[in-house]
Amino acid sequence: MQGLMMDYPLTTNVILRRAETMYPHREIITRRGDGRLDRSSYGEMARRAKQLALALAALGIGRGDRVATLSWNHAEHQEAYFGIPAAGAVLHTLNLRLPHEEIAYIADHADDRVLIVDECLLDIYDSIRTRVPFEHVVVVRESDAALPEGMIDYEELLAQYDAGDYVDPQLDEREAAAMCYTSGTTGRSKGVVYSHRSTVLHSLALTMADALGVCAADVIVPVVPMFHVNAWGIPYTAAMVGAVQVFPGPRPTPADILELMTSQRATLAAGVPTVWLGMLELLDQAPGKHDLSSVRAIAVGGAASPQRMVESYDRHGVRIVCAWGMTETSPIGTVSILPKELQDADPDVQMQQRLRQGFPVPLVELRARNENGLVPWDGQTMGELEICGPWVASQYYESSDPTAGMAFTDDGWFRTGDIVVIRPDGSMHLQDRAKDVIKSGGEWISSIALEGALMGHDRVAEAAVIAMPDERWGERPLAVVVPRGDTPPTSDELLAMLAEQFPKWWLPEQIVVRKEIPKTSAGKFLKSALREQYTARV
Ligand code: ADP
């Protein structure tokens, strides 16, 4: 017997209609390049998204065609998030921090037909234009300077169309809404294609209290770029529940973000740890000066949060919530909430749980595997994390990379490349990425655990631990440390501190002090560059 409920398509247009009818006056605020704040609304966003959909159709863009964006976080990018799928086309967010050659490869591989680009990023377009045959280039402008020949002014384009003429194309929920390429830290960039259905379900997931609990009372500052995994889905979720969004605009500094969060009375913000470490320095310099009392949480993911950072924010009255995800998982996979059993636990126990990656959100399933098969949920046995759920990729987009198929198991789960332990309560604790884990004498050493401990030292700002080839043990850890303040800690001091927490064979063979650690386009430690530098020296 079949169920007799409506086959209601889960498309981004459903979210758009809701935003338009329910929250026409709820604000979307953008910090422009000159620091000015522009105020728009969901009503205006919906009107302009429909104008964009009509304009794209007039440019010859149809069902499934890819439309790329090369943009910072701002109101026009939000319009593209809805307007491109509203045309039946596919939003393809290009990561502006990647090497230009990689951007060209990605745009070409995805067959992007139109590019919507910020005026301040036209130099990137210039350096890729001969390699990518965009049919149209639409420029979101901030200045009155003349546009280069052949380019279309975004505002002039929209002005030609009347939102009232827009007709919903009645999309199938399994059609593609958006795509994003992995940032290539683990090989050639691969395309992930989100469906309308996965996008809507992922948006719902973010509203759950045990996820980020995004709600109508929120004022959100999405620091995570809209060119990186859909700004963790926030633009869709915020529109769905009518949360105010405050976009940081081009090249935001920690000071810009702090200013926006205090002046706009933000309740929620999201970004990678490096951003929040930067803001922490400002808070520490002037305790009590910045009023963050409106903030109920800062969601931090993309890399492990150092304990010192979480504790320092606690002291400033701001709660950090750690979450784990990947481009391939839309991205929300797990969130580190405190379950009922730990509500009254010792603060140290609570802190350890908060620092882990946490519990899979409903509809997401986890398991981990090592060479002996699926690992027990004992909180000790390490294995590679496998994941399935309605917003997890089932394959990559036309990848010629021979390893792409290996990312999926025979029964269709996605192999994450993350080495984890799963605890008896079902929560996940990430130990390392498969390519970063250090294999010493046949045993695994977690580089993340060592980094976390090193960054717990008062005079250490950043620490990355990499594997060095070793004749006797296969690999041994080498720690690279960026000091905080004027007196760098000595190796002996750091080793003595580590010796209190880890077995002797985990201790780094060598500790190197340097001014900075190279970062990826998403602000994570670029360990491949460190490995190249230090292994070349031996
Ligand atoms: P890239 O693979 O290029 O870094 P992603 O943004 O997809 O791009 O990164 C996903 C990876 O980031 C995960 O596989 C994991 O290794 C790491 N990661 C994400 N969230 C966390 C977290 N909370 N703690 C530790 N690592 C994380």
- Per-residue pLDDT reduced to its tens digit, 278-293: 999 999 999 999 999 9
Asked if 473 and 440 touch (Cβ cutoff 8 Å), the reply is yes
Ligand 1 center to 74 CA (angstroms): 24
Mean pLDDT value across residues 329-348:
97
Q: Is the CB of 327 under 6 A from ligand 1?
A: yes
For the stretch 447-472, pLDDT in tens is 999 999 999 999 999 999 999 998 88
Interhelix angle for 12-22 vs 42-58, to 10°? 140
Can you tell me the distance from the alpha carbon of 160 to that of 195, in angstroms, rounded to the nearest whole number?
Answer: 29
For the stretch 341-392, pLDDT in tens is 999 999 999 999 999 999 999 999 999 999 999 999 999 999 999 999 999 9
> Mean pLDDT, the chain, as a whole number?
95
> How far is the CA of 36 from the CAs of 141, 277, 278, 322, 459, in angstroms?
15, 25, 22, 31, 37
Q: Is the CB of 528 under 6 A from ligand 1?
A: no
The answer to whether residue 473 is catalytic is: no
Q: Is the CB of 230 under 6 A from ligand 1?
A: no
Q: Is 248 exposed, middle or buried (0-12, 13-18, 19+ CB in 10 A)?
A: buried
Ligand 1 center to 169 CA (angstroms): 36
Token readout for 338 is 């405190």
Q: Which of 27, 262, 435, 444 is catalytic?
A: 444
The answer to whether residue 444 is catalytic is: yes
The answer to whether residue 439 is catalytic is: yes
pTM of the complete model beyond 0.75 = yes
Mean pLDDT value across residues 500-513:
93
Mean pLDDT value across residues 125-150:
95
Q: Whose CA is nearest to atom 9 of ligand 1?
A: 326
Can you tell me the distance from the alpha carbon of 479 to that of 477, in angstroms, rounded to the nearest whole number?
Answer: 7
Ligand 1 center to 432 CA (angstroms): 10
Can you tell me the distance from the alpha carbon of 235 to that of 83, in angstroms, rounded to the nearest whole number?
Answer: 13
Q: Which of 439, 443, 532, 535 is catalytic?
A: 439
Q: State the DSSP string of 102-126.
A: HHHHHHHHTTEEEEEEEGGGHHHHH
Ligand 1 center to 303 CA (angstroms): 5
Asked if 387 and 324 touch (Cβ cutoff 8 Å), the reply is no
For the stretch 161-203, pLDDT in tens is 999 999 999 999 999 999 999 976 556 799 999 999 999 999 9
The structure tokens 């280069």 sit at: 148
Q: Is 115 exposed, middle or buried (0-12, 13-18, 19+ CB in 10 A)?
A: buried
CA-only gyration radius of the chain, Å: 23
Q: Is the CB of 254 under 6 A from ligand 1?
A: no
Q: Work out the end-to-end distance of the chain between its first and last CA atoms, rounded to an integer number of angstroms.
A: 68
Which among 98, 232, 324 is the best mutation to test ligand 1's pocket, defined by most ligand atoms within 8 Å of the CB? 324
Q: Whose CA is nearest to atom 2 of ligand 1?
A: 185
Ligand 1 center to 433 CA (angstroms): 8
